[in-house]
Amino acid sequence: MGVSIKEVAARAGVSVGTVSNVLNRPDMVKAETVEKVHAAIDELGYVPNSAAQQLREGQSRSIGLVALDINNPFFTDVARGAERAAALGRHTVLLANSGESIEREISNIEMFERQRVRGVLVSPLSEDLSRLRDVRKRGIPVVLVDRGTEDTSFPSVAVDDVAGGELAARHLLEGGRRRLAFVGGPMRIRQIIDRYRGAAAAVAAVDEATITSIETEALSLDEGMRVGGELRALVARGEIDAVFAANDLLAIGVQQGLLGGDDPVAIPGDVALVGYDDISFAAAAVVPITSVRQPRELIGETAVALLEEVRESESEPRHVVFEPELVVRSSSAPAPTA
Amino acid sequence: MGVSIKEVAARAGVSVGTVSNVLNRPDMVKAETVEKVHAAIDELGYVPNSAAQQLREGQSRSIGLVALDINNPFFTDVARGAERAAALGRHTVLLANSGESIEREISNIEMFERQRVRGVLVSPLSEDLSRLRDVRKRGIPVVLVDRGTEDTSFPSVAVDDVAGGELAARHLLEGGRRRLAFVGGPMRIRQIIDRYRGAAAAVAAVDEATITSIETEALSLDEGMRVGGELRALVARGEIDAVFAANDLLAIGVQQGLLGGDDPVAIPGDVALVGYDDISFAAAAVVPITSVRQPRELIGETAVALLEEVRESESEPRHVVFEPELVVRSSSAPAPTA
DNA sequence: TTGAAAGCGCTAACAC
DNA sequence: GTGTTAGCGCTTTCAA
């Protein structure tokens, strides 16, 4: 065990209460004593034990953020926003990675509950929120991040993914595209479903336009490349003239798949491409990728703000929905008017 | 406050000691009692308080990992390896992000010390290890990750970055390139210096070969793009025929910069490109990028193993050095023998 | 097989 | 201004 407050007190010739006061309310203590105590702290290399503080205070100073997949730059940006907002209230953000696995999501949430965090920010994988309701019942506030609001009893921050999907598809249609492919999955993830539904609605409004859904196993670069490679033949045969990928990781992979091999197709000549999230790699791709931007850091900041709101008052939980924004780049230039 | 072990005991009609035993050494307890206690736990929704456990045990079950920059896929892969190794001993990895800032690095390490973690894995930004020596003196073991071994009193895992730099430069030279540019920075980061030194050594061994160092402010995509754009003119004038970037984020940016604008140059026709780390985006770039691979997950696993070693015995700390490996892709095909 | 109780390090209420 | 002390939730020793 390290040095405790008791040893500091002995060394400085004061009581433990005084040491604690020096640390937490220095103005209550005579300047001279403050100095003596600080000297003792330095000599001994005292570092407070946060487990003891927390046990005493009944609450941790940390906020738990359960990310779907930490390898997706989208989430590290959300985390950064949350960190910034948390720092304002002298809180800390603990990041846990679910790696798109429901079991890990559950065990991460439980870990946070054992730690008695101030609250949990989570973009749940599963449709079943009963576990989160239990967590809340036990006194730990929960905020839904990047998630629709079927259950309006939780505060939530989200982006209108249906609108985002529409935005993407409408843009492709306006560019003269008619045979769309949607690439994304697994289809149990709410956000992915919404993006598809939005796109499908836009397509339904235009005569002769069609959309095919190609489900992927993960939202990863590799899956995108695989699908992109398979799409080459369809594009060459004219069966597909536009691809809407459910996120940018996929979109970048799809682009590589389309441009690769011995029979590459042209972007945007043969096929247009739109992604989602607007991560920095999207703008840096060979053919810069048009993408639906989400206000990533703002989502994180807002989630923390909603958490504090719900902690402070018993008022109705708020539901913040941001509007997505289309960032047009060269990957989706209009079809040649052939 | 949540439900405590006391309430569970009352509900089950047993003592708190028995509840604790049910949780931690169930075989010591009569089966019937075990059941009663579990029933009470379920009814009450009891979740143990880890602050109390930790205070009692004097140690946390967590290992702290201080990452230089969580937005670099390299570190999330190291983290994944560490998580896997930690899970074997039923430990957890806490991830903290320094964002290339020394102040944040310091405050992250202090946070971990307050939490009395089992140990800290860190790739320190600064050359000054005195703070880490203090941490160790107070009883928290420290392992240096991805870092040379000036101070051999800390266990360390690293990759031979000098050898990596040599590997990259020699490959470019063997491909007929003679006018190299090194892109990387800030130059106070040890790994970057080593990679440059290795490259410079290889260049010195070849007549008429030269290498120019272009220092960047960060190891980011944006900085790479900026430098890549500036390099276009030099390449066009024949002053540079190869670029070695200090990591893949930079390399990808450099590639975009070289291929962009109204006067793009050809890769590998006009200029060859080699990166470092072999992150997955490197293989997925327009022109797939040759890169020096580090065994990322293995680095994380080894760091955890070294931590447990140094905790268990007073023996000499070990220093593990992995050899880097060149992964050749099309961005560095030999120069046209013009 | 179980219960009672000490004590981990800290904060805050209270007494002086 | 400072000291004393109860008690946060838990594990573990000792006794029964």
CATH number of the domain within which B216 lies? 3.40.50.2300
Which pLDDT score, from 0 to 100, does residue A280 have? 82
Q: Does A43 touch chain B (CB under 8 A)?
A: no
Which pLDDT score, from 0 to 100, does residue B148 have? 67
Mean pLDDT of chain A: 93
B199 lies in the same domain as B210: yes
CB-facing half-sphere around the CA of A332: CA atoms within 13 A: 29
Amino acid identity at A248: D
* Beta pairing partners, B65: B95, B121
pLDDT digits (tens, 9 = 90+) for A124-169: 888 789 999 999 999 999 999 987 667 889 999 999 999 999 999 9
Closest protein residue to C9 (Cα–C1'): A52
Q: Residue B14 belongs to what H/E stretch?
A: none
**A269 pLDDT exceeds 60?**
yes
Q: Do B116 and A51 touch (CB under 8 A)?
A: yes
B84 lies in the same domain as B230: no
Q: How far apart are the first and last CA of chain B?
A: 77
B188 lies in the same domain as B236: yes
Q: Does B330 touch chain A (CB under 8 A)?
A: no
Q: How many domains does chain A have?
A: 3
Alpha-carbon distance A71 to B188, whole Å?
27
Task: Among B72, B280, B287, pick the best mutation site for testing chain A contact (most A Cβ within 10 A).
Answer: B280
Band (A100; pLDDT cuts 50, 70, 90)? confident
**A337 pLDDT exceeds 70?**
no
Which pLDDT score, from 0 to 100, does residue A265 have? 94
Q: Is residue A57 part of a domain?
A: no
A183 lies in the same domain as A285: yes
Q: Is residue B53 part of a domain?
A: no
Alpha-carbon distance B246 to B224, whole Å?
10
**A338 pLDDT exceeds 60?**
no
Of the candidates B146, B150, B135, B67, which has an alpha carbon nearest to the alpha carbon of residue B105?
Answer: B67
pTM of this prediction? 0.88
B174 lies in the same domain as B76: no
Return chain A residues 50..109 having CB < 7 Å to nucleic acid strand D: 52, 55-56, 58
pLDDT digits (tens, 9 = 90+) for A86-99: 999 889 999 888 88
Of the candidates A276, A251, A285, A300, which has an alpha carbon nearest to the alpha carbon of residue A77?
Answer: A300
Closest protein residue to D12 (Cα–C1'): B17
B200 lies in the same domain as B314: no
Q: What percent of chain A shows pLDDT beyond 90?
A: 78
B256 lies in the same domain as B149: no
Residue B145 Cα to chain centre, angstroms:
7
Q: Is residue A338 part of a domain?
A: no
pLDDT digits (tens, 9 = 90+) for A242-261: 999 999 999 999 998 998 88
Task: Among A3, A278, A286, A331, pick the best mutation site for testing chain B contact (most B Cβ within 10 A).
Answer: A286
Alpha-carbon distance A63 to A81, whole Å?
13
Alpha-carbon distance B320 to A225, whole Å?
35
* CB-CB contact of B231 with B254 (8 Å): yes
Q: Is residue B277 part of a domain?
A: yes
Average pLDDT over residues A196-204: 98
pLDDT digits (tens, 9 = 90+) for B95-129: 888 887 889 899 999 999 999 999 999 998 887 89
B153 lies in the same domain as B299: yes
Round to a whole number and report the distance in Å from the CA of B149 to the C1' of C12: 47
- Closest-CA distance, A276 to chain B, in angstroms, reads 17
B248 lies in the same domain as B149: no
Residues of A in contact with B137 (CB under 8 A): 45
Which pLDDT score, from 0 to 100, does residue B26 have? 95
Alpha-carbon distance B180 to B273, whole Å?
10
Scanning the structure block, which residue is given the tokens 């390449």?
B235
Please provide the DSSP assignment of A13-41 as one string.
Answer: TS-HHHHHHHHH-GGGS-HHHHHHHHHHH
What is the length of chain B? 338
Q: Which domain holds residue B27?
A: 5-48
Q: Is residue A337 part of a domain?
A: no
Which pLDDT score, from 0 to 100, does residue A260 have? 83
What is the length of chain A? 338
Average pLDDT over residues A192-202: 97
DSSP conformation class of B90 = T
Residues of A in contact with B139 (CB under 8 A): 1-2
* CB-CB contact of A175 with A336 (8 Å): no
Q: Is the dihedral of CA A117, A118, A122, A124 positive or negative?
A: positive
Counting as low any pLDDT under 70, the low residues of chain B are 148-149, 337-338
Q: Is residue B54 part of a domain?
A: no
pLDDT digits (tens, 9 = 90+) for A41-99: 999 999 999 999 999 998 899 999 999 888 888 998 999 999 999 999 889 999 888 88
Which pLDDT score, from 0 to 100, does residue A136 have? 94
A224 lies in the same domain as A300: no
